Amino acid sequence: MALRGESVSGGIAVGRAVMLRTRHGWVARLPILPENVESECARLRAAAARGSAKLSALAEESAAAIGGDLASILSAHAMIAIDPTFLKPVERRIRREQINAEWALRATAEEIRERLAGSSDPVFSARGEDILEVARSIASELSENPQGFDKDAIEPGAILVADDLSPAQAVGLDPEQFAGIALERGGVHSHAAIIARSFGLPAVVGVAGLLDLAGRRRPMIVDGDRGVVEPAPSRPQLRRALERVSQNREREAAASRVDRRRVRSTSDGTRIAVRANVELPAELKAVERFAAEGIGLFRSEFLYLAAGERPPTAADQEAVYAGLLTACRPHPVVVRTYDLGGEKGWGPRDREASALGLRGIRHSLAHPELFRDQLRALLRASGKGALRILLPMVSSPAEVTVARRYLAELAAEEHLTETPPLGVMIEIPAAAVLAAELAAVSDFFSIGTNDLAQYVLAAERTDASVAAYYQPAAPAVLRMIKWTIDAAKEKDIPIAVCGELAGDPFGAGLLAGMGVRDLSMSPVLIPRVEEFLAAHACSELETLAAEALACSCAEGVRSLSDRWTGGKR
């Protein structure tokens, strides 16, 4: 049975499923043999005992550190974890349904929560959340490798199957090990999806029912072209899919023989620079393969996420930046200073920050020691190529002024007479509105349409329940973009777009029509954007942009897009 989801990255993959334990702590429903039922129950009891012991220890620690309230909650959780009235129904479910302990735990805890939620007594309904929390702690003990899976045990060409993926987990993956990715949750605009795309692997997200149907090590098909996953394919389906895999390989081999120094333009010869969005140095291969004109956005926060609990040292960072600059020369490399916080939380406190919390430049200014280390590393590497520094999540000119002061102080310490151009991401509505004032203190702008859309439309980019509201080409977003472009032109500073809208052929056409001549996107998206731009004259794109800007709703822009692309996006 084919399962529908949303395509994040095209192509088709066939491989055996590898199930990744995710931040939500649950795994798939796996049938077990009748003779293994008792050992599965014993596994559950042992995990519950370990979980309970850990919770008690945590309770003691927190009593010493922060006093009573949290400690008493944790002690209560420790007791629930080994309470037979909770564990017995889980065991009964394992025996009755002959399924794995993790799944039985989840199903039972959710059932209890639902029952308690119906109670009119708030104490009882809150108890349901406690039960779920306890079940999660036990599930984490059940996992042999709480961080995810044993990377060394993965056969090459596997399909990564998970509920969802945090950016930190995504960045820890080795794309060489996988043929494709399928996620039950996740949105196309999440950072995990952006990374999956940058791997260039077929990927489909938001596949409801995936974990129920996928089986560990069973062959499956991920069709990124159609946004479909086939968790239990028939032989003819497998054969057809494998034929497509080999056709794609041949096409890719032909594409890799293209001229790496080519430039892109519209059909009337208007030059549009097409650069790459990169998260990790390993993606340099893709920058070269798709002949990107340098890096238009290096998301440096992934260096922090990949480094784990400790920040990368200034020396490690310098080596990475120098490597990027040398590889891309003579093209520019735009390094965005780290945009940690929110979805890209680093450390337990950060993870709690919301999209409106301490992110980007706000995080940097709150942690000047980290920020200055990064700026120093950038300055030290700056001689290796054409470096530009970009500040994320700016909402006022004062933030740019402080960053510029740090940069000048550090440059003096490093005996440098010049500092690299310092630019600003326009991704908060306040920044777009103040574009003229920001242009007065910035050397260039780069529009982040992913966040700009989220904040203009008040629709979180990772929340599937508001996915229909999250429309980066909605007229309200387009008008803010146009306002920003006009302000940059008026003040005569360069302007680029590095949000995902630039990697969509129609979106790129719209942006070119509004006057943008510098676009940055996941390298795999370059060929289709290039093709669309080359097929249209600049004057046509200007008419298109004017029509889109005049629309009153996102549906109007979508029907324009369907007309221009024949419904293919």
Cα 14 to chain centroid distance, Å, stands at 23
Question: Strand order of the sheet with strand 6-9?
Answer: 3-4, 228-230, 219-223, 12-20, 158-162, 178-183, 203-205, 6-9
* 301 touches Mg ion (CB under 5 A): no
Is residue 110 helix, strand or coil? helix
The footprint of ligand PEP on residues 485-504 (CB under 6 A) is: 498-499
Residue selected from 223, 451, 460, 530 as contacting Mg ion according to rule CB under 5 A? 451
Contacts of 255 (CB under 8 A, 6+ apart): 527
Which residue in the list 191, 331, 363, 536 is annotated as catalytic? 191
* 141 touches ligand PEP (CB under 6 A): no
Q: Is 536 a catalytic residue?
A: no
x/- map, 498-537, ligand PEP, by CB under 6 A: xx--------------------------------------
The footprint of ligand PEP on residues 38-67 (CB under 6 A) is: none
* 451 touches ligand PEP (CB under 6 A): yes
Q: CA-CA distance, 40 to 530, in Å (whole number)?
A: 55
Q: CA-CA distance, 388 to 376, in Å (whole number)?
A: 14
For the chain, how big is the Rg over CA atoms in Å?
Answer: 25
Residue 518 interaction partner, one of Mg ion, ligand PEP, none, beta carbon < 5-8 Å per kind: none
Q: Where would I find the H helices in 329-428?
A: 348-351, 360-366, 368-381, 397-413
Exposure class string for 370-389: b at 16+ Cβ within 10 A, else e: bbbbbbbbbbbbbebbbbbb
Residue 449 interaction partner, one of ligand PEP, Mg ion, none, beta carbon < 5-8 Å per kind: ligand PEP
* 427 touches Mg ion (CB under 5 A): yes
Q: Which is nearer to ligand PEP, 161 or 457 (CB)?
A: 457
* 395 touches ligand PEP (CB under 6 A): no
Identify whether the C-beta of residue 513 lies closer than 8 Å to the C-beta of residue 461. no
In this structure, what token pair is assigned to residue 529? Answer: 């954007």
* 450 touches ligand PEP (CB under 6 A): yes
Cα 480 to chain centroid distance, Å, stands at 24
Which residue in the list 41, 328, 331, 498 is annotated as catalytic? 498
* 341 touches Mg ion (CB under 5 A): no
The footprint of ligand PEP on residues 284-323 (CB under 6 A) is: 297, 299
* 448 touches Mg ion (CB under 5 A): yes
Q: Is 363 a catalytic residue?
A: no
Residue 499 interaction partner, one of Mg ion, ligand PEP, none, beta carbon < 5-8 Å per kind: ligand PEP
Q: Which is nearer to Mg ion, 279 or 427 (CB)?
A: 427
Nearest Cα to Cα of residue 11 among 193, 202, 160, 237? 202
Residue 299 interaction partner, one of ligand PEP, Mg ion, none, beta carbon < 5-8 Å per kind: ligand PEP
Cis peptide before 330 (omega within 30 of 0): yes
Binding site for Mg ion (CB under 5 A): 427, 448, 451
Q: Which positions lie near ligand PEP, rule CB under 6 A?
A: 297, 299, 339, 427, 448-451, 498-499
Catalytic residue numbers read 191, 498
